Amino acid sequence: MRISIFGLGYVGCVTAACLSREGHEVIGVDVNELKVSLLNEGQCPIIEKGLPELIRAGRNQGRLSATTDVSEAIQSTTVSLICVGTPSQANGSLDLSHIKQVSQEIGVSLKEKESYHCFIYRSTVLPQTTRTVIIPVLEEASGKQAHIDFDVCFNPEFLREGTSVHDFYHPPLTIIGHQTARGASTAAELYESIPAPIEYVSYEIAEMMKYVSNTFHALKVAFANEIGTICKAIGVDSYEVMRLFCMDTKLNVSPAYLKPGFGFGGSCLPKDLRALVYKARDVDVYAPVLGSILESNRLHIQRAVDYLVRKRVKKVGVLGLSFKEGTDDLRESPTVVLIEQLIGKGFDVRIYDPEVYLAKLHGANKDYIQREIPHIATLVSDNLPDVIQSSDLLVVAKALADFDRDVKPFLGDKPVYDLVRIRPQLTGMPSGYEGICW
């Protein structure tokens, strides 16, 4: 395949060299004449392990070259990867001037081309940039229509400086944001020799993935450093603690808990988090990441309250009361907090939770229910159809039942507010369905 790569910075150089090694004919494009000259001389414009050898081999084999001429690159290739920078501005927003400029220049060159071309953007941009910024620029400059005359894909990169060549050949997955099957298959051809699954998604999901990944990496660094600082202050070996922590790949380093939903609660997480934050203060360690978790959880519960207030309904049915499925434990349940606020705001609330209903009668939590939340316990019913039919809106706080079988027959057209993502259970979405964060 004949490929042009726009932007010979870190991502562009690595991508160009690696694709040339895979047998593709690659032309690098950059406004910086020094970078172009270095590449054409077989020299590496950046410092990166293993990259000089790949560039030298690509030049010697005649598969890698560079130019400053955009038109030459577009006319002589069928696929273009755009890897120009998107630096931060003073206020934190992205500077899209480079990506707009190169897209405009590409579009002008595309106007004179009759054959098919696929543009694959790798520059890090926020969701909706491809659809609302990049494609309009390409269409206006070329006078052609995206997805018909040419294709646009978004293919985020996850290359770490210092190990980027290894990362290119050993990705956990390859993500291709696309609009057409033609564009997706063209982009996928670039990675047919790479042993990793390919996920075909929307532009917006592909764009968001880089930000989610990098934000989580930053969060992990800050988390580990705050834990390490607390450990040092109290005389505990932080490296041994984190070594053991990372050995747990079922809960700690795993997909567990990484699913958007409602707030956390129960007898452990809030209590232990408060204790650790208190201990940090006690040993004069400021831990803002740890200290913000409970506030973030409170705000998430408040989002649910605010949503229901905005709906202007008075009768609310709630499926689920305990803090998670499979338990009657109500200690620090976020649903209890939600219901208490709704009651305080004058809502008429009915609750269905068979696990709590049994506990109210003879379970281990009977005393807690009678002592701590008797006003809520009286609202718990064992009659699911009655709870549904007597409400103006249904809140799903636990996946207690087969929604299609047990709930939908009594639902009618009343809205559903989902806190646990029951969508996979549904054969058809009820009108007025909405998830708390999806």
Give the residue numbers marked as catalytic.
268
Beta-strand pair 416-418/433-435: parallel
Closest CA to 129 of 103, 108, 90, 147: 103
Phi, psi of 395 (to 5 degrees): -105, 125
| Angle between helix 10-21 and 51-60 (nearest 10) | 50
Residue in this structure with the two tokens 């040092």, named with its chain if needed: 232
Phi, psi of 121 (to 5 degrees): -90, 130
Containing 350, the helix (H) or strand (E) segment is: strand 348-352
b/e map 108-147, b = 16+ CB within 10 Å? bbbeebeeebbbbbbbbbbbebbbebbbebbbebbebebe
Angstrom distance (rounded) from CA 399 to CA 423: 11
Q: Which residues contact 236 (CB under 8 A, 6 or more apart)?
A: none
Strand stretches in 198-303, DSSP E: 198-201
- Sign (positive or negative) of CA dihedral 141, 142, 144, 146: negative
Quickly count: other Cβ atoms within 10 Å of residue 81's Cβ: 29
Angstrom distance (rounded) from CA 55 to CA 68: 18
Lay out the sheet containing 64-67: strands in order across.
64-67, 25-29, 2-6, 79-82, 118-121, 151-154, 174-177, 198-201
- Sign (positive or negative) of CA dihedral 259, 262, 267, 272: positive
- Sign (positive or negative) of CA dihedral 370, 372, 374, 376: negative
* Rounded alpha-carbon distances, angstroms, from residue 26 to 29, 55, 79, 145, 194: 10, 11, 10, 26, 17
> Are the beta carbons of 384 and 406 closer than 8 angstroms?
yes
